[in-house]
Amino acid sequence: MKTLLTSLALLFVLNAHAEENTRLANVKAADAARIIAMKSPTSDALHIIFSDDLRYAHSNGVVDTKASFIDILTTGKTKYVSYDYEEQNFTFPAPSLALMSGRAHVKALTATGEMDAVLGFLAVWREEKGQWRFLSWQSCKLPPATK
């Protein structure tokens, strides 16, 4: 009986680990699609990736909704040139929520000029009807690394 319980416990742990790995892979794939869509924006792609409840707080303090962010991307008011993660961490506080935090080196062209900055960020992904959707972003500019 003890061996059976130990085996069942091990299977439960392995299954939970496999599910978390699948969620992680799915959220990473959704984020990769988001970056591609933001660098080459189309309204259709962005509507699929962004949650209807999107709240995007830029590093300059401007906050966009789904509609306003799609507008600035598709009209070219903001053009993301490069988006490279220096650090990317994921946690799952609930089965349908993923928190992504880290550092990203981002280059963008905006109405006020070029932005070339390393950002500290927190992003939230939410599973909506079986699909991971981008729910929230908050970032701040980080000072240059000291050597």
pLDDT on residue 36: 97
If you average pLDDT over every residue of the chain, what do you get? 90
Q: Which amino acid is at 56?
A: Y
Q: What is the pLDDT of residues 77-118, one digit of tens each?
A: 999 999 999 999 999 999 999 999 999 999 999 988 999 999
Residues 6+ apart with CB under 8 A from 128: 51, 96
Name the 3-class secondary structure at 73: helix
pLDDT on residue 144: 74
Name the 3-class secondary structure at 45: helix
pLDDT on residue 140: 96
| Domains recognised in the chain with CATH numbers | 2-141 (3.10.450.50)
When computed from its CA atoms, the radius of gyration of the chain, rounded to whole angstroms, is 18
Cα–Cα nearest to 120, from 145, 101, 106, 98: 101
pLDDT on residue 26: 97
Q: How many helices (H) and strands (E) does the chain have?
A: 3, 6
Residue numbers in the chain where pLDDT is lower than 70? 1-2, 4-18, 146-147
Give the other-Cβ count within 10 Å of 120's Cβ: 16
- Count Cβ atoms within 10 A of the Cβ of residue 55 and give its class: 0-12 exposed, 13-18 middle, 19 or more buried: middle
